[in-house]
């Protein structure tokens, strides 16, 4: 058991993913123009077994974007050039926010979607990583079945205590009272 | 107002979940078109349901493989059965003096009791498919007294002819054809069974090969080939194979309908006839009686582009020759002919849009003629095919009734020129539907919009002008008051009397626009029992597009029609059905302010993609792809109009759980067959962020996986595989509710901030976007094929989950409190929880018969259910389409804002009057007493 875990460990830890950022053309821009090439935004190492991840490198997008400018953040498949990801605004990369990358992985630990969010800067790192595993669907919570034994009786029911087992302390009390209280008259 | 809404919400949530249809509402608030689909020419006939019956029923096997018996008196369905097999392939036969009808569909041959539609026997033919079916009317020249045997032609690995026992359906003998020819049809004569196959040589054309079989042993008696290869290129060129006639005929034509060749089956001679030469013939149809005892006469119908005519031919049985007897003149426009036989006589009925006339097969004299009264519903439509019953007394036809399929999809019965009934059978192909507003509401909304966008003074002037204009309706309104009052008092509601579509007080009158797979669109008025207001053919509007699955979207006063095989969009006026040019549309486009930008999303190449702007451009702004090659099988966005009355859920201890309300939620369903997984992803459709992901294992992904989303909850249903390893299998219903935080009285990181954006950064502490998800799973007894949620005007009324149960032909409204994911598990609810209306969790939801919305109706083949608000907050309008059309109104928290039918208004008025009279009498007495009291101190 342990051995197999140890064997699997290297595979589980050594996951790295590069997140790219694309600048989207503004609304006044003609639609037909090609998108600018993606720029690597962050390099993230993550471990599925412990659901943790760290940012190994992070370069915020440079360039003078106005706050409403849309940027898309996502993963790019190196082989097919296929892209998937989310959209956010340029303002999210401002200094005063804490950035968080969310990595969505399936049961096998393969990454399939990425999320990006910001929050107020508190203590801790400027860039955070969260790994979210796909949850297993809720199952109906069944009632416990009534199990009968061969005699048709409920299994595991404790045998009834005898009269003495149940009331010995009463008898003992009675006797004690008799002994302690009864002796004085004679 | 706010307080009022909250009080209402509280009242609504306290009502116990036992809403059911009231007895006096049934059949009044709901309507049902039990449809069969378009009847086919060769499987529709009049027939007595049992020997000796005086009345007959219309039996039909439709394009949708529905076997139905229709009462010719009122057009009601007596019974119907759904058969297997691909659409339009079934066969239906019935013998004379029989109490069964026999159907062949797919691989199943079945006999049905003609009177009540019960299954008498069924014979399933393994992998073979039934190609043709005939009944043996006679055996050795004698009529079979009891159940007539069926002969069936099967195409499997090698074609087979089987004779099936009429009582049990067991095969009596089997003839196997190993020649490799294509099986075509069967035909029978009183002494022989003819098996007709197509022998296709290497070079084009097909030879018709006729094999005679002995009806008793099934042995081959004779075989001959007709050299038809010059004409017959495909099956459609064979026009007719006469069945059960004394002289069975085989007729074929060539590609251009230039020649008609007729062979009397059993002889080798071929007679050749030429169509009328003046115009190219588009279609040739042969009409002959299928009774053994009738005269061997037949009629050939010639349809040209501008008119139609017919020739009647007589067959000489002794000489085995065919001769033309007489012609029926050319009439402009389209028409059709029907055949009726009574005893030995054969009558042909000619049906045109204007006239019905009857001739006898033996002479050209017209026996009867009836002008057809113009009907608005049949306007611009022509008869396609039909069946007739004729009463002939002393040489003249005294009555005729014809059940005719019209080109606009109406199946109508015309009795002596008058329309007796019509059935909107085209609605059986409905694939999508959308609600549309009535024109008055649309114009008012437009006027208000104009007023809202101009400055105060001009808006005020505009409003005054509008009110002055509205005064012109004032006298008419005054005149309608007495009628309305009387109608209200005596309980006969207006619903039945309203002829044209107009707004009613309660907003129950709405339009539903339905589009069918055959490219037809219709507007139905749900306020007057789903009557078709207009009915158009999209092929005429856009002739070069083949519509297969039109999708509809409602906009202001018009409907946008899109289709997969069609690049552009059609705009149809929702109240008249007229085409609107796209130029007139521009003015109505929604105006967005500068800061707003639209993100549209759609499924593109198996991925969900979001795009900037309303158009789908090349570059998506976000993309979602499910992992492991899972296929997205559907996505459900939150309805655009989904008002939420309360942002929180009040708990028993007066604390509040805040709902996660995001207008951009979309629930994506993905499935993977190889691992039997179904996954559900909740996305934010503006940013593409994944909010929640769930996957279920051991799922039978071939079964439907319906889902719906509303307010702050979503629901889906799936089938756990019977081979699954889990502790429980079967149909499951999952409900999940989203909250801002798991802790009551806590609004999560966002707090009470007014605005939040999924694109703009947030300066709140902690993770903003993620909802807290509570979910529970229940077992249900039946599969759900479709689900949706009721809608009301303000969202104060509790919602109800409407599910379609295909196996019991029902639509059921499951109350929200039954599927509340906060039901306590494994313990009884505490007093506080009980005060919220929570009950103990049970793993199984029993579908209460009281929840059925369709009560005694059987709603078959439902493809979808749509809901809409009505004018009343308590009531939601429901419309179901598919094979049947069904509509009703639901009030999940009861009709708290309208008086029920049981309320006696007259009694109330009488009580008021009696009290008033009493006061009049008592007042002087009291006054006197008071005065007396003052004087007697």
pTM of the model: 0.87
Q: Nearest 5 degrees, angle CA B448-CA B454-CA B459? A: 65
How does pLDDT run across B13-65, given as a tens digit for each residue? 444 445 678 877 888 889 999 999 999 988 999 999 988 888 899 999 999 99
Whether B690 and A113 lie within 8 Å, measured CB to CB:
yes
> Alpha helices, DSSP H only, in B536-618?
538-541
| B621 and A24 Cβ atoms separated by less than 8 Å | yes
What pairing do the DSSP bridges indicate for beta strands A97-105 and A127-133? parallel
Q: How far is CA B561 from the centre of its chain?
A: 18
* Mean pLDDT (chain B, rounded): 85
Query: Could you tell me which residue, A47 or B77, shows the higher pLDDT?
Result: B77
Confidence of residue B514 (pLDDT cuts 50, 70, 90): very high
- CA B207 → CA B3, B222, B581, distances in Å? 84, 16, 52
Query: Could you tell me which residue, B805 or B582, shows the higher pLDDT?
Result: B805
What pairing do the DSSP bridges indicate for beta strands B800-805 and B810-815? antiparallel
Question: Above 70 in pLDDT, residue B430?
Answer: yes
Question: Above 60 in pLDDT, residue B498?
Answer: no
| B632 and B608 Cβ atoms separated by less than 8 Å | yes
Whether B727 and A142 lie within 8 Å, measured CB to CB:
yes
Whether A141 and B625 lie within 8 Å, measured CB to CB:
no
Strands of the sheet containing B297-304, edge to edge, are B281-288, B297-304, B307-316, B321-332
| A58 and A100 Cβ atoms separated by less than 8 Å | no
Question: Above 90 in pLDDT, residue B886?
Answer: yes
Mutation site, B598, B687, B756, interface A, largest A CB count within 10 A = B687
Confidence of residue B596 (pLDDT cuts 50, 70, 90): low
Q: How far is CA B536 from the centre of its chain?
A: 16
| B610 and B600 Cβ atoms separated by less than 8 Å | yes
Is the CB of residue B732 less than 8 Å away from at least one CB of chain A? yes
What local confidence, expressed as pLDDT, does residue B139 receive?
67
What number is the average pLDDT over the span A156-185?
Answer: 80
Q: Nearest 5 degrees, angle CA A85-CA A109-CA A39? A: 30
Those residues whose C-beta lies under 8 Å from the C-beta of residue B145, and which sit 6 or more positions away, are none
Cα dihedral across residues B213, B214, B219, B221: positive or negative: negative
Whether B621 and A74 lie within 8 Å, measured CB to CB:
no
What number is the average pLDDT over the span B504-514?
Answer: 85
Whether A112 and B625 lie within 8 Å, measured CB to CB:
yes
In B781-884, the DSSP E strands lie at 786-789, 800-805, 810-815, 844-845, 862-869, 876-882
Whether A141 and B775 lie within 8 Å, measured CB to CB:
no
Alpha-carbon distance B12 to B415, whole Å? Answer: 52
Half-sphere exposure of B67 (CA within 13 A, CB side): 28
Question: Above 50 in pLDDT, residue B291?
Answer: yes
Confidence of residue A147 (pLDDT cuts 50, 70, 90): confident
Is the CB of residue B760 less than 8 Å away from at least one CB of chain A? yes
Alpha-carbon distance A5 to A3, whole Å? Answer: 5
Question: Above 70 in pLDDT, residue B768?
Answer: no
Pick from B118, B94, B120, B93: which is nearest to B105 by CA? B93
What local confidence, expressed as pLDDT, does residue B665 receive?
92
- The interface residues of chain B toward chain A in range 54-113, judged by CB-CB distance below 8 A, are none
Alpha-carbon distance A158 to A147, whole Å? Answer: 15
> Alpha helices, DSSP H only, in B825-880?
831-836
Query: Could you tell me which residue, A182 or B90, shows the higher pLDDT?
Result: B90
Confidence of residue B103 (pLDDT cuts 50, 70, 90): very high
What local confidence, expressed as pLDDT, does residue B203 receive?
67
> Which of B624, B728, B759 lies at the smallest CB-CB distance from A140?
B728
Confidence of residue A69 (pLDDT cuts 50, 70, 90): confident
Nearest CA in chain A to B684: A86
Pick from B102, B33, B32, B38: which is nearest to B65 by CA? B38
What local confidence, expressed as pLDDT, does residue B145 receive?
62
- CA B356 → CA B301, B403, B417, B626, distances in Å? 15, 12, 7, 62
What number is the average pLDDT over the span B634-648?
Answer: 90
What local confidence, expressed as pLDDT, does residue B276 receive?
83
Half-sphere exposure of B618 (CA within 13 A, CB side): 8
What local confidence, expressed as pLDDT, does residue B766 receive?
62
What number is the average pLDDT over the span B842-853?
Answer: 92
Whether A116 and B694 lie within 8 Å, measured CB to CB:
no
Alpha-carbon distance B839 to B820, whole Å? Answer: 9
Q: Can you tell me whether residue A6 is helix, strand or coil?
A: helix
What number is the average pLDDT over the span B798-806?
Answer: 94
Q: What is the DSSP-derived secondary structure letter of residue B699?
A: B
- The percent of residues above 90 in pLDDT, for chain B, comes to 38
Chain A residues inside the 8 Å CB shell of B627: 106, 110, 112, 134
Q: What is the dihedral of CA B417, B423, B428, B431, to 10 degrees?
A: 90
| B714 and B706 Cβ atoms separated by less than 8 Å | no
Q: Which helix (H) or strand (E) holds B251?
A: strand B249-253
What pairing do the DSSP bridges indicate for beta strands B844-845 and B772-780? parallel
What local confidence, expressed as pLDDT, does residue B764 receive?
65
What local confidence, expressed as pLDDT, does residue B414 receive?
93
Question: Above 80 in pLDDT, residue B490?
Answer: no
What number is the average pLDDT over the span B727-750?
Answer: 87
What local confidence, expressed as pLDDT, does residue B31 receive?
92
What local confidence, expressed as pLDDT, does residue A173 receive?
92
What local confidence, expressed as pLDDT, does residue B497 receive?
41
What local confidence, expressed as pLDDT, does residue B831 receive?
92
Confidence of residue B790 (pLDDT cuts 50, 70, 90): very high
Mutation site, B670, B688, B724, interface A, largest A CB count within 10 A = B688
What number is the average pLDDT over the span B772-794?
Answer: 93
Q: Nearest 5 degrees, angle CA B233-CA B234-CA B238? A: 100
What local confidence, expressed as pLDDT, does residue A4 receive?
47
What local confidence, expressed as pLDDT, does residue A6 receive?
46
Q: What is the DSSP-derived secondary structure letter of residue B742?
A: S
Mutation site, B622, B632, B664, B720, interface A, largest A CB count within 10 A = B622
Question: Above 80 in pLDDT, residue B233?
Answer: no
Question: Above 60 in pLDDT, residue B624?
Answer: yes
Alpha-carbon distance B517 to B482, whole Å? Answer: 46
- B338-352, B546-560, B804-818: which has the minimum mean pLDDT? B546-560
B448 φψ region: left (φ > 0), alpha (ψ -120 to 50), beta (else): alpha
CB atoms within 10 A of CB B589: 10
What pairing do the DSSP bridges indicate for beta strands B321-332 and B336-342? unpaired
Query: Could you tell me which residue, B257 or B433, shows the higher pLDDT?
Result: B433
Pick from A83, A87, A96, A91: which is nearest to A38 by CA? A83
What local confidence, expressed as pLDDT, does residue B509 receive?
84
Whether A136 and B696 lie within 8 Å, measured CB to CB:
yes
What number is the average pLDDT over the span A79-104?
Answer: 83
Chain A residues inside the 8 Å CB shell of B762: 97, 117-120
How does pLDDT run across A109-125, given as a tens digit for each residue? 888 999 888 887 776 67
Is the CB of residue B152 less than 8 Å away from at least one CB of chain A? no
What ipTM did this prediction achieve? Answer: 0.79
Query: Could you tell me which residue, B316 or B202, shows the higher pLDDT?
Result: B316
Question: Above 50 in pLDDT, residue B727?
Answer: yes
Pick from B776, B695, B777, B775: which is nearest to B729 by CA? B777
Whether A89 and B760 lie within 8 Å, measured CB to CB:
yes
Those residues whose C-beta lies under 8 Å from the C-beta of residue B903, and which sit 6 or more positions away, are none
Confidence of residue B911 (pLDDT cuts 50, 70, 90): very high
Confidence of residue B618 (pLDDT cuts 50, 70, 90): low
What number is the average pLDDT over the span B563-570?
Answer: 78
Q: What is the dihedral of CA B908, B912, B915, B917, to 10 degrees?
A: -130
Question: Above 50 in pLDDT, residue B793?
Answer: yes
- The percent of residues above 70 in pLDDT, for chain B, comes to 91
């Amino acid at each position: 058991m342990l051995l197999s875990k140890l064997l699997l460990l290297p595979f589980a830890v050594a996951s790295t993913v590069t997140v790219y950022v694309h600048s989207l053309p503004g609304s006044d821009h003609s639609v037909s123009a090609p998108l600018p090439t993606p720029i690597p935004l962050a390099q993230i190492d993550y471990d599925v077994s412990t659901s943790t991840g760290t940012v190994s490198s992070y370069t915020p997008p440079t360039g003078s974007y106005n706050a409403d400018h849309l940027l898309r953040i996502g993963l790019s498949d190196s082989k097919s050039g296929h892209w998937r990801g989310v959209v956010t605004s340029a303002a999210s990369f401002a200094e005063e926010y804490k950035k968080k990358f969310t990595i969505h992985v399936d049961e096998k630990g393969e990454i399939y979607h990425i999320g990006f969010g910001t929050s107020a800067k508190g203590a801790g790192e400027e860039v955070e990583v969260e790994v979210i595993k796909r949850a297993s669907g809720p199952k109906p919570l069944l009632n416990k079945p009534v199990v009968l034994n061969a005699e048709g009786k409920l299994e595991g029911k404790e045998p009834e205590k005898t009269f003495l087992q149940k009331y010995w302390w009463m008898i003992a009390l009675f006797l004690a009272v008799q002994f302690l209280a009864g002796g004085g008259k004679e | 107002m706010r307080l009022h809404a909250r009080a209402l919400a509280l009242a609504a949530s306290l009502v116990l979940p036992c809403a059911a249809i009231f007895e006096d509402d049934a059949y009044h608030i709901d309507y049902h078109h039990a449809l069969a689909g378009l009847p086919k020419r060769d499987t529709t006939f009049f027939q007595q349901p049992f020997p000796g019956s005086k009345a007959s029923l219309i039996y039909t096997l439709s394009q949708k493989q529905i076997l139905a018996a229709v009462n010719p008196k009122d057009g009601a369905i007596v019974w119907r059965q759904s058969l297997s097999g691909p659409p339009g392939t079934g066969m239906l036969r019935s013998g004379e003096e029989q109490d069964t009808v026999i159907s062949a569909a797919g691989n199943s041959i079945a006999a049905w009791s003609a009177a009540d539609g019960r299954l008498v026997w069924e014979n399933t033919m393994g992998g073979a498919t039934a190609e043709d079916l005939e009944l043996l009317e006679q055996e050795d020249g004698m009529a079979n007294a009891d159940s007539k045997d069926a002969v069936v032609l099967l195409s499997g690995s090698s074609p087979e002819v089987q004779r099936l026992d009429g009582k049990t359906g067991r095969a009596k003998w089997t003839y196997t054809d190993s020649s490799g020819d294509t099986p075509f049809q069967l035909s029978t004569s009183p002494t022989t069974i003819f098996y007709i196959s197509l022998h296709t040589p290497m070079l084009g054309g097909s030879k018709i090969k006729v094999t005679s079989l002995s009806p008793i042993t099934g042995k081959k008696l004779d075989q001959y080939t007709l050299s038809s290869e010059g004409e017959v290129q495909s099956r459609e060129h064979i026009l007719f194979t006469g069945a059960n006639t004394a002289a069975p005929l085989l007729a074929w034509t060539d590609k251009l309908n230039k020649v008609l060749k007729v062979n009397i089956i059993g002889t080798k001679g071929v007679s050749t006839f030429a169509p009328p030469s003046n115009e190219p013939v588009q279609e040739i149809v042969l009409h002959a009686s299928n009774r053994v005892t009738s005269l061997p006469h037949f009629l050939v119908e010639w349809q040209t582009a501008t008119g139609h005519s017919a020739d009647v031919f007589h067959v000489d049985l002794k000489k085995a020759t065919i001769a033309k007897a007489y012609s029926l003149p050319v009439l402009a426009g389209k028409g059709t002919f029907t055949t009726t036989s009574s005893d030995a006589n054969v009558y042909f009925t000619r049906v045109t849009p204007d006239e019905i006339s009857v001739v006898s097969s033996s002479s050209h004299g017209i026996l009867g003629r009836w002008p057809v009264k113009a009907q608005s519903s049949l306007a611009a439509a022509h008869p396609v095919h039909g069946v007739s019953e004729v009463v002939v007394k002393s040489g003249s036809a005294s009555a005729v009734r014809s059940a005719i399929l019209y080109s606009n999809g109406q199946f109508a019965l015309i009795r002596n020129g008058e329309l007796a009934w019509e059935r909107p059978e085209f609605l059986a192909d409905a694939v999508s539907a959308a609600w549309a507003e009535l024109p008055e509401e649309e114009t008012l909304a437009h006027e208000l919009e104009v007023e809202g966008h101009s400055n105060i003074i001009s808006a005020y002037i505009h409003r005054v002008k509008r009110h002055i204009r509205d005064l012109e309706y004032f006298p008419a309104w005054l005149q309608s008051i007495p009628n309305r009052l009387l109608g209200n008092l005596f309980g006969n509601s207006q619903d039945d009397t309203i002829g044209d579509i107009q707004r009613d007080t309660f907003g129950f009158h709405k339009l539903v626009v339905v589009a069918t797979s055959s490219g037809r669109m219709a507007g139905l008025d749900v306020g007057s029992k789903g009557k078709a207001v207009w009915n158009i053919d999209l092929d005429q509007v856009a002739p070069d597009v083949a519509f297969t699955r039109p999708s509809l979207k409602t906009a202001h006063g018009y409907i946008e029609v899109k289709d997969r095989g069609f690049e552009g969009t059609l705009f149809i006026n929702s109240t008249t059905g007229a085409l609107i040019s796209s130029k007139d549309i521009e003015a109505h486009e929604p105006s967005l302010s500068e800061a707003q930008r639209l993100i549209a999303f759609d499924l593109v190449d198996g991925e969900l993609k979001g795009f900037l702007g309303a158009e789908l451009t090349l570059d998506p702004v976000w993309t979602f792809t499910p992992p492991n090659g899972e296929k997205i099988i559907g996505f459900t966005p939150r309805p655009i109009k989904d008002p939420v009355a309360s942002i929180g859920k009040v708990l028993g201890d007066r604390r509040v759980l805040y709902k996660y309300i995001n207008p951009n939620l979309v629930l994506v369903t993905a499935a993977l067959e190889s691992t039997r997984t179904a996954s559900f992803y909740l996305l934010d459709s503006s940013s593409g962020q994944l909010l929640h992901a769930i996957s279920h294992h051991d799922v039978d992904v071939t079964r439907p996986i319906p889902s719906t989303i509303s307010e702050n909850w979503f629901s889906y249903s799936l089938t756990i595989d019977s081979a699954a390893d889990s502790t429980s299998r079967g149909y499951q219903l999952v409900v999940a509710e989203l909250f801002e935080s798991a802790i009551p009285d806590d609004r999560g990181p966002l707090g009470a901030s007014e605005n939040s954006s999924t694109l703009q950064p947030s300066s709140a502490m902690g993770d903003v976007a993620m909802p807290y998800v509570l979910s529970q799973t229940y077992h249900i007894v039946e599969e759900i094929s479709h689900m949706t949620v009721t809608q009301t005007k303000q969202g104060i009324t509790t919602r109800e989950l409407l599910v379609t149960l295909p196996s019991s032909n029902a639509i059921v409204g499951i109350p929200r409190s039954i599927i509340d994911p906060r039901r306590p598990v494994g313990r009884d609810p505490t007093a506080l929880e009980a005060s919220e209306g929570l009950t103990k969790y049970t793993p199984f939801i029993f579908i209460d018969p009281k929840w059925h919305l369709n009560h005694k109706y059987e709603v078959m083949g439902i493809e979808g259910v749509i809901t809409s608000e009505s004018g009343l907050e308590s009531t939601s309008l429901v419309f179901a389409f598919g094979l049947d059309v069904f509509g009703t109104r639901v009030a999940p928290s009861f009709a708290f804002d309208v008086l029920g039918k049981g309320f006696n208004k007259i009694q109330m008025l009488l009580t008021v009057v009696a009290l008033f009279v009493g006061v009049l009498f008592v007042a002087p007495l009291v006054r006197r007493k008071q005065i007396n009291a003052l004087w007697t101190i």
